[in-house]
Chains A and B, each alone.
Chain A
Amino acid sequence: MEFDLEFALEAVGPLLMAFLQVTLVVTVAGSVIAALLGLIWAVGQRELPTPIRMVLTWVLDVIRMTPLPLQLLFAVAIFISFDGYRRFPETDVETIGMILGVAVFSVHYSTYMAESYRAGIESIGRGQWEAATALSLPRIRVWRAVIIPQALRATLPSLGNWAIAMFKDTPFLLVILVPEMVAKAKQLGGASYQYTEVFTVAGLIFLAASYPTAVLMRKLEKKLVY
């Protein structure tokens, strides 16, 4: 087997472009939204009346236990069944794909993040709740000022890990034909059947982005300990 270095170097530009325009955008937007949704689910699971809480827990379980690519296809199918493409004629197909992708990634990963938050919330001692009650703090204030800041400290490292996991799952976007980096690599390689080079470059770009993030997360984790 031969490795065509020149071809590989040529692929760096377009792949990096796809990486910045799709992979990174979906990961960043997806992580932020997932972190917010996850928090809402976790708080909901403690505050909502029992029947609603049970439904919520069940829905979260269903989402967590079905595969992400299937959920992507499902989202597109629903979009089509509501005549989505015709309703937004101005918007190009790739953008719609990305929006659906961000939505599915956010919801999917929010279910995992909710679990992390739940553990973080549970790790807060009963004394904190009791002190808040003794001061008659309103419930919303207890969450905002006492519980969430402390839970976040405990949860942040794990949220970071989920964000990295999401990042590594972005190639699934190719099942709904979003031109993210791996799809782009496949397309570039396909022209001359030189796949090894392009996939190597794509892999290295992934590694170059996720490895420093992981190291940073670990440092952060150490800093966050009281």
Chain B
Amino acid sequence: MEDVAKRFGKNTVLDGLNFTVERGERVTLIGPSGSGKTTILRLLMTLEELSGGYIYVDGDPLTYAKRGNRRVKLPNKEVTRIRKRIGMVFQQFNLFPNMTVCENIIEAPVHVLGQSKEEARAKAVDLLDQVGLRDKIDAHPSSLSGGQQQRVAIARALAMEPEILLLDEVTSALDPELVGDVLEVLREVARETDITMLLVTHEMQFAQDVSHRVLMFDEGRVIEEAKPEVMFNNPEHERTKQFLQAIL
């Protein structure tokens, strides 16, 4: 991210934000409510319009490119080409209620990646195995618990074989007893794959276990960054100390 800015009307949420995530790195964003964590992930997913600056994925500009000293908007086709490499799991799952679990998972592989239905379904079975929901393959989302729905949503995102996975508070809408299974699935994804992950979470133990680096945000800026052990046990910044104390 280079000089990234985001304004909602007159409200400037991000301004001159710069940070880089390495390939295969897992980074957790923490920070008080309203500090812009969700906004960053949504900008990466192209769900929000970038007000200023540039976002690069593996060197390729995502929505805006620098041409000389002009900032030009990229055509949709180009945006889609890059966006296919990014997947996202939402706080509210956002499964398609009119489709079965299997249809949810194979929709994009079939219609975006051009896989055959059989091929995509075989992969869906593997993914559902991974998230422990193989027997729910033909169920409708409405018949699943929140935790199960979220695990299907993770499988759906993984089915696109993303290089980058964005996870925005994926357990905060869940009943406490359902959080564990979802986090376990994500731990495994972190263990078994080299997908780059950008996550926002209040589950500090989980963040410590899976992430290589933690960024502390406040008012749209990175005020501190460190390895998780350091950040959670021995933060430097006063704001970080206060924030961590408040949530622990």
Contacts and interface: CB of A to CB of B under 8 A. Distances in A.
Interface of A: 125, 127-128, 130-131, 133-138, 141, 145-146, 149-150, 153, 226
Given A136-B80, A136-B83, A127 B108 contact: no
A127 B97 CA distance: 12
Contact of B94 (A131, A136, A141, A145): A131
Contacts of B112: 135-138
B107 A135 contact: yes
B98 A135 contact: no
Nearest to B79: A136
B46 A133 contact: yes
Given A127-B94, A133-B46, A136-B112, 13 more contacts: A125-B94, A128-B96, A131-B95, A134-B86, A134-B157, A135-B112, A135-B157, A136-B160, A137-B108, A137-B111, A141-B111, A145-B111, A149-B98
Contacts of B87: 134-135
Contacts of B97: 150, 226
B45 A131 contact: no
Nearest to B89: A134
A136 B109 CA distance: 10
A133 B47 contact: yes
Given A135-B156, A146-B96, A226 B107 contact: no
B98 A153 contact: yes
The A interface is mostly helix, strand or loop, or mixed, namely helix
Nearest to A127: B94
Contact of B96 (A131, A136, A153): A131
A136 B108 contact: yes
A128 B94 contact: yes
B208 interface: no
Interface of B: 45-47, 80, 83-84, 86-88, 90, 92, 94-99, 107-108, 111-112, 142, 156-157, 160
A127 B141 CA distance: 15
Contacts of B47: 130, 133-134
A137 B112 CA distance: 6
A225 to B, nearest CB: 11
A-B complex: 8 closest residue pairs judged by Cβ atoms: A131-B94, A135-B108, A127-B94, A134-B88, A149-B98, A136-B84, A141-B111, A136-B112
A137 B45 contact: no
> Could you say which of A125, A134, A137, A141 has the most chain B C-beta atoms within 10 Å of its C-beta?
A134
Nearest to A144: B111
Given A130-B47, A145-B107, A135 B160 contact: yes
A133 B45 contact: yes
> Could you say which of B80, B95, B111 has the most chain A C-beta atoms within 10 Å of its C-beta?
B111
Contacts of A137: 107-108, 111-112
A134 B45 contact: yes
Nearest to B80: A136
B64 to A, nearest CB: 17
A18 to B, nearest CB: 41
A130 B96 CA distance: 11
A203 B180 CA distance: 65
A150 to B, nearest CB: 5
A150 B94 CA distance: 13
A146 B103 CA distance: 11
A161 to B, nearest CB: 22
A127 B107 contact: no
Contact of B142 (A130, A133, A146, A226): A226
A139 to B, nearest CB: 9
Given A133-B46, A136-B108, A226-B142, A150 B98 contact: yes
